[in-house]
Amino acid sequence: EAQVTQNPRYLITVTGKKLTVTCSQNMNHEYMSWYRQDPGLGLRQIYYSMNVEVTDKGDVPEGYKVSRKEKRNFPLILESPSPNQTSLYFCASNSGGSGTQYFGPGTRLLVL
Amino acid sequence: GENVEQHPSTLSVQEGDSAVIKCTYSDSASNYFPWYKQELGKRPQLIIDIRSNVGEKKDQRIAVTLNKTAKHFSLHITETQPEDSAVYFCAARRGAGGTSYGKLTFGQGTILTVHP
């Protein structure tokens, strides 16, 4: 089954404790993205990747890192999480620059 | 960069009525405009999309129109049903030939409530 998976689905952590949210897709898509969703602000892009080893900042990259060492994986790293990073995070992938974007199930993060 | 504005932020209709959600975009290089539906607690899912070489597209009760000159596009849902209640997002994607190719920018979302 074609899908985008994320782990963990729920995470509670404390300020400053490094964490990684994994994202994996099995559709051989070149493009992968990370979004955060906050009430009233829609989906804001954090980082995106056009292919292996090619990444670029989205609209709200501060406080986040990403890497794309393999085509199927695109982890999101929070080196020193802060409470303002409490949010719902979605990973997504699509084929090329014009293909349909598929979303993962989401990761709900609470930073205390 | 691209900026997408979406209105209204909330929309309440009676079952059977039509619903219209409007979006405007700023980047004339954008050429792909998808609409996503997000039900409570779930991921956004594509419901319809339109490319810049087309003015209108329809899929059963859902239609999207695009006015490139005015840089706005709209989602039309006819004969609404309670299961249409969800958050709807529009988005715009930049075409090839420049920086940020493939980047998808979303509107702020519209909460649609269909009352039985």
Note down pLDDT in tens along chain B; length 116 residues. Answer: 789 999 999 999 999 999 999 999 999 888 899 999 999 989 999 999 998 888 999 999 999 999 999 999 999 999 999 999 999 999 998 876 555 566 788 999 999 999 99
When CB atoms are compared, the residue of A101, A104, A105 closest to B104 is A101
- Cβ–Cβ of B102/A94 closer than 8 Å? yes
Residues B56 and B33: beta-carbon distance below 8 Å: no
CA distance A37 to A43: 5
Q: Write out chain A residues lying below 8 Å of B105, CB-based.
A: 45, 59
- Cβ–Cβ of B104/A45 closer than 8 Å? yes
Tell me A100's DSSP state.
P
Q: What is the pLDDT of residue A66?
A: 97
Hey, CA dihedral for A78, A82, A31, B60, is it positive or negative? positive
pLDDT, average across residues A63-86: 97
